[in-house]
Amino acid sequence: MSGRADLTLGFIPLTDCAPLVVAKTRGFFAEEGLEVVLSREASWATIRDKVGVGALDGAHMLAPMALAADSMLAPLALNQNGSAVTVGTKLAAMMREADPEALAGPLVTADALMEVIARRRAQGAPPLTFAVVFPHSMHNYFLRYWLGQAGIDPDRDVRLVVTPPPRMVEHLRSGEIDGFCVGAPWNTVAVDEGLGEVLIKASQFWPGGPDKVFGVTAAWADRHGDELRAALRALIRASAWADEPGNHAELVALLSRPDHVGVEAEVLVRALKSEIVFHRHAAGLPRREHALWFLSQMARWGQVGADVDLAAVADRVYRPDLFREAALSLGPVLDPAQVFADAAPAASALFDGPSFDPANPRGYAASFPVGRAR
Amino acid sequence: MDLHRSHLAPDGLRAEGMRVLVIDPDPARAALVAEGLEGVQPLEVRRATTFDEREAAAFAPDVVVIAADSPDRDTLESLREAGQHNPRAVVMFVDRSEPGLAEQAVRAGVAAYVVDGLTPSRVRSILDVAISRFALTQQLRGDLAKAKADLESRKTVERAKGLLMKERGLDEDGAYRLLRKLAMDRGKPIGTVAADLLAFAGVLKGDAS
> So what's the pLDDT on residue A338?
59
A88 phi and psi angles, rounded to 5 deg:
-65, 155
Q: Taking residues A156-178, what's their average pLDDT? A: 93
Could you tell me the fold of the domain covering A84-205? D-Maltodextrin-Binding Protein; domain 2 (3.40.190)
> So what's the pLDDT on residue A374?
60
- What is the amino acid identity at position A70? D
Report cis status (omega within 30 of 0) of the bond before A185: yes
Tens digits of residue pLDDT in A64-120: 999 999 789 999 999 999 999 999 999 999 999 999 988 888 889 999 999 999 999
Question: Which residues make beta-bridge pairs with B21?
Answer: B46, B64
Contact (CB<8Å) A55/B107: no
The CA distance from A366 to A349, in Å, is: 18
Instruction: Give the lowest-confidence range in A145-149, A240-244, B121-125.
Output: B121-125
Question: Which residues make beta-bridge pairs with A60?
Answer: A214
10 Å CB burial of residue A369 (0-12, 13-18, 19+) is exposed
**Nearest 10 degrees: CA dihedral of A58, A61, A67, A70?**
-40
Interface test with chain A among B24, B55, B78, by most A beta carbons within 10 Å: B78
**pLDDT above 70 (res B27):** yes
> So what's the pLDDT on residue B70?
80
Rg of the Cα atoms in chain B: 25
Contacts (Cβ under 8 Å, ≥6 apart) of A166: A13, A186, B71
> When comparing pLDDT for A347 and A53, which is higher?
A53
Tens digits of residue pLDDT in B167-203: 888 999 999 999 999 888 888 888 888 888 888 777 6
pLDDT-derived band of residue B23, with 50, 70 and 90 as boundaries?
confident
Q: Taking residues A220-242, what's their average pLDDT? A: 96
Tens digits of residue pLDDT in A295-350: 999 999 999 988 899 999 999 999 999 998 998 888 756 665 555 555 444 555 67
**pLDDT above 70 (res B117):** no
Of B71, B98, B107, the CB nearest to A43: B71
CATH classification for the domain delimited by B146-205, as one of 1.10.3720.10, 3.30.450.20, 3.30.365.10, 1.10.10.10: 1.10.10.10
The CA distance from B162 to B167, in Å, is: 9
> So what's the pLDDT on residue B98?
64
Name the CATH superfamily for B2-143: Response regulator (3.40.50.2300)
**pLDDT above 70 (res B54):** yes
Q: Taking residues A130-155, what's their average pLDDT? A: 95
pLDDT-derived band of residue B1, with 50, 70 and 90 as boundaries?
very low
CATH 3.40.190.10 positions along chain A are 7-81+209-364, 84-205
Is B92 in the A-facing interface, judged by CB distances under 8 Å? no
pLDDT-derived band of residue B2, with 50, 70 and 90 as boundaries?
very low
ipTM: 0.76
Q: Which residues of A touch B79 (CB under 8 A)?
A: 162
Contact (CB<8Å) A135/B98: no
Alpha helices of chain A — where are they, by DSSP H?
A: 18-25, 28-31, 44-53, 63-68, 89-98, 111-123, 138-149, 168-174, 186-192, 202-205, 218-223, 225-243, 248-256, 265-274, 288-300, 310-317, 320-329, 361-366
Contact (CB<8Å) A167/B71: yes
Distance, CA of A103 to chain centre = 24
> So what's the pLDDT on residue B193?
87
Q: Taking residues A179-198, what's their average pLDDT? A: 95
> So what's the pLDDT on residue A157?
96
**pLDDT above 70 (res B87):** no
Q: Which residues of B touch A49 (CB under 8 A)?
A: 68, 101, 104-105, 108
Nearest to B179 by CA among B169, B166, B164, B167: B164
The CA distance from A298 to A68, in Å, is: 9
**pLDDT above 60 (res B52):** yes
**pLDDT above 60 (res B143):** yes
The CA distance from A57 to A84, in Å, is: 30
Nearest to B196 by CA among B135, B153, B133: B153
Contact (CB<8Å) B100/A176: no
How many other CB atoms sit within 10 Å of the CB of residue B188?
14
Contacts (Cβ under 8 Å, ≥6 apart) of A226: A1
Mean pLDDT of chain B, nearest integer: 75
Residues 98-117 of B with CB under 8 A from A: 98-101, 103-105, 107-108
Tens digits of residue pLDDT in A24-44: 999 999 999 999 999 999 889
How many other CB atoms sit within 10 Å of the CB of residue B136?
15
The CA distance from B109 to B82, in Å, is: 12
At residue B81, the 3 state secondary structure works out as: helix
> So what's the pLDDT on residue B4?
35
Could you tell me the fold of the domain covering A7-81+209-364? D-Maltodextrin-Binding Protein; domain 2 (3.40.190)
Tens digits of residue pLDDT in A240-274: 999 999 999 999 999 999 999 988 888 888 888 88
| C-alpha distances out from residue A120 to A91, A124, A155, B53, Å | 11, 6, 17, 22
pLDDT-derived band of residue B63, with 50, 70 and 90 as boundaries?
confident
At residue A257, the 3 state secondary structure works out as: coil
Is B94 in the A-facing interface, judged by CB distances under 8 Å? no
Distance from CA of A122 to the nearest CA of B (A): 23
How many other CB atoms sit within 10 Å of the CB of residue B54?
11
> When comparing pLDDT for A9 and A307, which is higher?
A9
Report cis status (omega within 30 of 0) of the bond before B42: yes
pLDDT-derived band of residue A216, with 50, 70 and 90 as boundaries?
very high
> So what's the pLDDT on residue A25?
97
Residue ranges of domains in chain B: 2-143, 146-205
- Closest-CA residue in chain B for A302? B82
How many other CB atoms sit within 10 Å of the CB of residue A46?
27
> So what's the pLDDT on residue B91?
80
**pLDDT above 70 (res A126):** yes
**pLDDT above 50 (res B3):** no
A207 phi and psi angles, rounded to 5 deg:
-55, 125
> So what's the pLDDT on residue A335?
63
Distance from CA of B40 to the nearest CA of A (A): 32
Do B2-143 and B146-205 share a fold? no
**pLDDT above 60 (res B83):** no
| C-alpha distances out from residue B52 to A54, A87, A195, Å | 31, 20, 21
- The vertex-A132 CA angle with B134 and A300, nearest 5°, equals 80
> So what's the pLDDT on residue A162?
92
- Parallel, antiparallel, or unpaired for β A129-132 and A196-201? unpaired
